[in-house]
Amino acid sequence: MDYLQLGDSDLQVSRLCLGTWNMAGQEGWGPENDKTSIDLIRRAQDSGCNFFDTAHGYGKGRAEALLGKALAQDDRRERAVIATKVMQCPPPRLEGQLDAALRRLRTDYVDLYLVHWPWPRGDLRAFMDKMSEMKQKEKARQIGVSNFNLQEMEVAAEYGVVCLQAPYNVLWRQIEDDILPFCRENGIAVTSYSSLAQGLLTGRFSRGSEQRAGIRNKNVLFDEPVFTKAREAAAVVDAVADEIGCTSSQAALAWLLQTEGMVAPIVGISKWGQWQDNLGALDVRLSDAEYRRISEAGMQVWEMLPADGSMWGWKPR
């Protein structure tokens, strides 16, 4: 496993981050039971992963509690970098939200505390003041944000955020024009969620006949006519993978890992073999031509989508 500094902080994180959204109990989305999830978390850590992502909103705290239980064994908490997220709320409620998360996570502090979504009707500066207070009280080692636009990032940067978590993959390129350059210029690390586009970039839909089902039906990448074009782009990823001797997932993750400013793609798994496959991406190196080929195929999908849209068709109002 490789490790990088998380922005301008003292945190060293693994280049792959294990996400826990799919471990929050949604039927047909993640591991078959909590015991399997706990085993996957521990095995991932034993393989070198030290970076784990969760949120209050994942199963109303269920994913946080499960992660806390998994890392309560021996010295696992001390070896982990835990990121959790909170929706922007009235500032006086924030500390109580964090205290509840700490209880679920079975820890006295969280390594990285992120604003999950900005609330358009809320006072962002007042909320960021409270986030900074949580760092001063040592309940959070560092603070960050998720799903922020450029103007919101400019405010967040004033408060010393070290990380932006954003939707980003070969097909979804929203942050490329302005947000990603801003983060590079200001020493803010970027971690991607939906790194494999909910499985679209794994070959499951482009190489086979798997059908859209469950929570994926809420993702705009799975709506027609975008879905057909996305499968065509995924087929380009498949072809590059075949040519260089890796899997489709590894090629798609290698593209992310080779994108300047990207520190750690977040990946969710339901089986151990998926994590092993993802680890192989660390050994894949795309040539400049291969990187461009994948980029250009994905951009044809992104150009079909609204630049200010949401991958899940939802934003706080």
Question: Is residue 228 a part of any domain in this protein?
Answer: no
DSSP designation for 242: H
* Domain total in the chain: 1
Question: Is residue 160 a part of any domain in this protein?
Answer: yes
The CATH number given to whatever domain includes residue 142 is 3.20.20.100
What predicted TM-score, i.e. pTM, was given to this entire model?
Answer: 0.95
d(CA 9, CA 187): 10
Question: Is residue 216 a part of any domain in this protein?
Answer: no
Question: Is residue 191 a part of any domain in this protein?
Answer: yes
Q: Using alpha carbons, select from 149, 301, 178 the residue that is nearest to residue 231.
A: 301
Query: H helices within the chain, ranges in order?
Result: 34-46, 62-71, 94-105, 124-136, 150-157, 179-185, 226-244, 248-257, 272-279, 288-302
Question: Is residue 12 a part of any domain in this protein?
Answer: yes
Tell me, yes or no, if 159 is annotated catalytic.
Answer: no
- The residue segments making up the domain with residue 98 are 3-199+247-286
Question: Is residue 75 a part of any domain in this protein?
Answer: yes
Question: Is residue 219 a part of any domain in this protein?
Answer: no
Q: Which of 3, 58, 113, 291 is catalytic?
A: 58
For residue 45, is it left (φ>0), alpha (ψ between -120 and 50) or beta?
alpha
Question: Is residue 98 a part of any domain in this protein?
Answer: yes
What tens-digit pLDDT sequence spans the chain (317 residues)?
999 999 999 999 999 999 999 998 765 567 888 999 999 999 999 999 999 999 999 999 999 999 999 999 999 999 999 999 999 999 999 999 999 999 999 999 999 999 999 998 899 999 999 999 999 999 999 999 999 999 999 999 999 999 999 999 999 999 999 999 999 999 999 999 999 999 999 999 999 877 777 788 889 999 999 999 999 999 999 999 999 999 999 999 999 999 999 999 999 999 999 999 999 999 999 999 999 999 999 999 999 999 888 988 888 87
